[in-house]
Amino acid sequence: MRLMKNTQLSDQINTQLNNSNQGMTVFAPTDNAFSTLKAGTLNSLSDQQKVQLLQFHVLPIYLTTSQFQTVSNPLRTQAGDSGSQLNITTSGNSVNITTGVVDTPVSNTLYTDGTLAVYQVEKVLLPMSLFGPPSPAPAPGPLKKKKAGSDDDTPTTDDGSASADASGGVVFGGHLHGIYVGVIGIIAAFYL
């Protein structure tokens, strides 16, 4: 609640409820859920990321417990982007939420009035967009030959990073040719 007040998300929810006929669904983590987060998790987030985290706990539609059985996944949250979706699954009367980072049961109905539903969850819902694995580094560009007439015809990538030469050796920034010449010069000096 303190985080909602500090980020003014509670004001946003009130405004949206007054101006919409779709209602809202809020998933409220317990105090224990917040205390089990890794130390410093909330403090490491910017103000904008804190708002995004809270918005991830809000669906822009009103869902009853019976509607959890037939909901279409993934569900878009108030956080908006594609990394801010969650899935709801059911088994009998049990309801589970999956974010791609955490799974948690819906353990209790805290409030419902036909417009706003608030459900208790046992973990903080962590969105992929904030807590998912980092994107992999881009692959190196395609190999290309130096211009004809150049005294170094070793293939390199567009950015001059490592590439393989014809013998399978690794070229670091296109300088393997110079290493070969240097090694040959040392051997020739030793035998002369």
At residue 8, the pLDDT reads 81
At residue 59, the pLDDT reads 93
pTM given for the model:
0.67
Contact 126, 99 (CB under 8 A): yes
At residue 176, the pLDDT reads 33
Domain map (residue ranges) of the chain? 2-131, 139-192
Amino acid at 103: D
What CATH number belongs to 2-131? 2.30.180.10
Q: What is the mean pLDDT of each run of 10 residues along the chain (192 residues)?
A: 78 82 92 91 90 92 93 91 84 93 95 94 91 64 56 49 40 34 34 36
DSSP string covering 85-136: EEEEEEETTEEEEE-SS-EEEEEEEEEE-SSEEEEEESS----HHHHSPPPP
At residue 132, the pLDDT reads 76
What residues contact residue 68 under an 8 Å CB cut-off, 6+ apart? 88, 90, 95, 106
At residue 188, the pLDDT reads 34
